[in-house]
């Protein structure tokens, strides 16, 4: 055996080397097999994950279209917001709004101002031939001109919706006094418009003028001058969140010409919310159904056909007109409200919101949003 190993030493060395290599390769093969199995399992897992994501992607294939549509909707929304802001600004009319331009006064100053206004209102109505109501109207007859003359001489007690404060002044709070002063300024504009709508050929009679109560003290004293605005809720803009206003009702006896002129005299922040027109039937005791004239004073009633109908000759037709005006005082609306209700916006969404603010004309509050 030894002789064989000596004679074939090289062969033996080759054999052992081959054996070592074989064992090494076999071990490595087992290792590769395990590695292959591990990679195969991982690949299958990733394939399944990719398949799920692919399925989700297919289900969200509409996202791109939705994004384009949402972008367009955002542009439309910005345009609508800009139009809405312009509309609200036009309705408020800050440059001519009594509430916005009111200067601080004491309650005593408001009282003195209201006292002066009573004289001014009555003088303006007298100069414009505006007929004011009296407290105790005489019995009405056929001659309406007689009634007009009577009204003209007995109208000094009309309070223009402030009857309770003509000569007396309760202990108003500063807030109530402010609102009363603002209402009196609005009434001044209403009276001026009525006066500008009348002329020598088209007179106007004020039947009543009512306003809303401004507080607890006013509520105790306002009396019959109070307007129940709840009757007009369906017509009022102040039912919209953020909009504040006063409501006034004026009842007139006038002709169509004067009414058209009056309605055209008002502009924002006055909003005509309701108008009712009806015949003033109670102006005369004339009854066309029972009227039976005798045309010939020397003839008999038989000469008149019983079927004939006679109507009075009326040169001017007066109507009873009820006008309800809403005067916009405040509009509390801000795009900041949108942000405050979505405080969890991330940075990307915040950038989109800021761009929308700029496009919609709300550039004044962009810096406020950036600082939040």
Predicted confidence at residue 245, as pLDDT, reads 94
Least confident of 30-44, 261-275, 276-290, 348-362: 276-290
- Angstrom distance (rounded) from CA 64 to CA 265: 54
What dotted CATH number matches 107-285+314-331?
A: 3.30.70.60
Average pLDDT of the residues in 245-250: 95
| Torsion sign over Cα 18, 20, 23, 26 | negative
Q: How far apart are CA 219 and CA 16, in angstroms?
A: 119
Q: What is the C-alpha to C-alpha distance for residues 226 and 324, in angstroms, rounded to an integer?
A: 13
pLDDT for 344 = 61
Where are the domains positioned within the chain? 63-92+335-371, 107-285+314-331
Task: For residue 252, give Cα distances in angstroms to 130, 131, 246, 286.
Answer: 10, 10, 20, 22
Of 58-62, 258-262, 339-343, minimum mean pLDDT range: 339-343
Mean pLDDT of 101-106: 92
Long-range contact pairs involving 336-341 (C-beta distance under 8 Å, separation at least 24): 336/365, 336/368, 336/369, 339/369, 339/372
The reported pLDDT for the residue numbered 63 is 80
Confidence of residue 313 (pLDDT cuts 50, 70, 90): very low
> What beta strand segments (E) does the chain contain?
130-131, 204-211, 243-254, 270-279, 319-331
Residues in the chain: 372
Residue 328 has pLDDT above 90, yes or no: yes
Average pLDDT over residues 90-118: 94
CA distance 187 to 194: 10
Report the percent of the chain where pLDDT is more than 90.
Answer: 40
The whole-number pLDDT of residue 194 equals 95
d(CA 5, CA 175): 124
- pLDDT surpasses 50 at 292: no
Higher pLDDT, 134 or 49: 49
- pLDDT-derived band at 291 (thresholds 50, 70, 90) equals very low
Overall average pLDDT of the 140-163 stretch: 58
Residue 311: predicted pLDDT: 47
Is omega for the bond preceding 205 within 30 degrees of 0, making it cis?
no
Taking only the tens place, the pLDDT of each residue in 295-306 is: 444 444 444 444
* Contact (Cβ atoms closer than 8 angstroms) between residue 247 and residue 324: yes
CA distances from 210 to 107, 161, 163, 218, 322 (A): 22, 5, 10, 13, 11
Residue 160: which region, alpha, beta or left (left: phi > 0; alpha: psi -120 to 50)?
Answer: left
119-128 pLDDT, tens digit per residue, is 999 999 999 9
Q: Which pLDDT belongs to residue 149?
A: 44
Categorize the per-residue pLDDT at 342 as very low, low, confident or very high, splitting at 50, 70 and 90: low
> Helix or strand or coil: residue 148?
helix
CA distance 98 to 327: 10
pLDDT surpasses 80 at 32: yes
Residue 175 has pLDDT above 90, yes or no: yes
Q: Which of 58, 184, 24 is closest to 111 using CA atoms?
A: 184
Give the sheet arrangement for strand 319-331, strand by strand. 130-131, 204-211, 243-254, 319-331, 270-279
Mean pLDDT of 100-121: 94
Average pLDDT score over the chain: 81
Closest-CA residue to 245 (of 263, 271, 216, 220): 271
Return the pLDDT at 15: 82
Distance in angstroms (rounded) separating the CA atoms of residues 94 and 268: 9
Confidence of residue 54 (pLDDT cuts 50, 70, 90): confident
pLDDT of residue 372: 62
Q: Which residue has the higher pLDDT, 62 or 243?
A: 243
pLDDT given at position 339? 65
CB 319, CB 280: distance < 8 Å:
yes
Q: What is the pLDDT of residues 259-277, one digit of tens each?
A: 999 999 999 999 999 999 9
- In this predicted structure, what is the pLDDT of residue 1? 66
Q: 16: pLDDT confidence band, cut at 50, 70 and 90?
A: confident
Q: How far apart are the first and last CA of the chain?
A: 96
């Amino acid at each position: 055996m030894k002789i064989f190993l000596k004679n074939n030493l090289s062969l033996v060395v080759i054999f052992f080397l081959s054996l070592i290599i074989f064992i090494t390769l076999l071990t490595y093969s087992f290792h590769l097999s395990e590695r292959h199995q591990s990679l195969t399992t991982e690949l299958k897992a990733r394939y399944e994950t990719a398949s799920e994501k692919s399925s989700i992607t297919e289900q969200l294939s509409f996202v791109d279209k939705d994004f384009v549509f949402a972008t367009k909707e955002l542009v439309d929304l910005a345009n609508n917001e800009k139009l809405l802001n312009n509309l609200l600004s036009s309705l408020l009319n800050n440059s001519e709004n009594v509430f916005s331009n009111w200067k601080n006064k004491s309650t005593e100053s408001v009282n003195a101002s209201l006292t002066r206004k009573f004289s001014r209102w009555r003088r303006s109505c007298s100069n414009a031939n505006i007929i004011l109501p009296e407290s105790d109207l005489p019995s009405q007859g056929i001659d309406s001109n007689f009634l007009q003359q009577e009204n003209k001489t007995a109208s000094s007690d009309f309070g223009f919706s402030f009857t309770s404060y003509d000569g007396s002044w309760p202990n108003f709070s500063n807030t109530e006094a402010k609102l009363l002063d603002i209402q009196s300024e609005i009434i001044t504009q209403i009276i001026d418009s009525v006066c500008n709508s009348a002329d020598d050929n088209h007179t106007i009679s004020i039947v009543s003028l009512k306003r809303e109560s401004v507080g607890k003290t006013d509520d105790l004293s306002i009396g019959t001058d109070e307007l129940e605005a709840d009757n007009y809720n369906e017509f009022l803009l102040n039912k919209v969140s953020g909009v504040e206003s006063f409501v006034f009702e004026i009842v007139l006896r006038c002709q169509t010409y004067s009414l058209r002129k009056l309605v055209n005299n008002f502009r924002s922040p006055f909003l005509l919310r309701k108008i009712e027109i009806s015949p003033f039937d109670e102006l005369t005791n004339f009854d066309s159904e029972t009227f039976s004239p005798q045309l010939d004073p020397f003839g008999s009633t038989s000469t008149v056909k019983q079927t004939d109908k006679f109507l009075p000759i009326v040169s001017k037709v007066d109507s009873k007109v009820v006008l309800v005006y809403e005067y916009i005082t405040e509009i509390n609306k801000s795009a900041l409200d949108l942000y405050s209700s979505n405080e969890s916006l991330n940075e990307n969404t915040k950038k989109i919101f800021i761009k929308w603010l700029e496009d919609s004309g709300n550039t004044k509050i962009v810096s406020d949003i950036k600082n939040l």
